[in-house]
Amino acid sequence: MNLEMVDIFIMKQIFIYYLKHPITNEIRYIGKTSKKLKYRLYNHIYNAKHTKHNKHLSNWILQILNEGLLPIMDLLEICDESIWKEQEQFWISLYPNLINLTLGGDGCEGLQHTEETLLKLRESRSGFKHTEQFKQDKSDFFKTIIRTDSWKNNISKSRKGYKPTEAALKNQSEAHKGYIMPDAQKEKIRASLKGRKRPQIVIDKIKATKNKNKDIVES
């Protein structure tokens, strides 16, 4: 085992994560933990019911629980303990509608960064790309998460009749501008759809679109 691998095992890993609403998919909280994400989620739920350290976060979580759902927790980054403060602050600076009490980092209660500092944090990560090993580790991590049938049913029920707002659609459109899907991803999608029958409503929409385009061309 080389020295680099020794350092990796000695360093304590910190997980930077977010909490988002299961229906709107809006990210409302960013935090860090050294334990498994599911344990941190349980801790958030317990705090919401009992301690309410962060009143806004607690009320937000309780509102979701009252609907029979759970906040969605997902991983943003894995870093070692020597840089987690800067990394948490960076991720928090990217989202304007969070309910975090501070702008991140242990011992930073009440700290308010200037716009110049926030800009520097964003610029420091400009062009940053995760390594293939990081992507694989992240993929392996999520494979260990068990989605129960009850959880799946609740998510399915919560999405019925849901329509994204105009603002949400606009944000999605802006986020995908200039994006080119890799050929490998296209092949995966084709493989996943192979042999799959389209719902009649989808077939009808495709026919309607083709007829509309035909009328435009012929007019």
Which segment of 37-46, 47-56, 147-156 scores lowest on mean pLDDT?
A: 147-156
Given a contact cutoff of 8 angstroms between Cβ atoms, the answer to whether 34 and 84 are in contact is: no
What pLDDT, in 10s, does the model give residues 63-118?
999 988 999 999 988 887 888 888 888 888 888 888 887 776 654 444 455 666 66
Tallying the residues shown for the chain, one arrives at: 219
* CB neighbour list of residue 62: distance below 8 Å, 6 or more residues apart: 48, 49
Q: Report the alpha-carbon distance of residue 155 to residue 161 in Å, rounded.
A: 12
Q: Report the alpha-carbon distance of residue 47 to residue 38 in Å, rounded.
A: 14
Q: Is the pLDDT reported for residue 17 higher than 90?
A: yes
Q: Report the alpha-carbon distance of residue 171 to residue 70 in Å, rounded.
A: 24
Q: Report the alpha-carbon distance of residue 134 to residue 212 in Å, rounded.
A: 46
- Report the pLDDT averaged over residues 29-52: 88
Class of domain 3-159: alpha beta
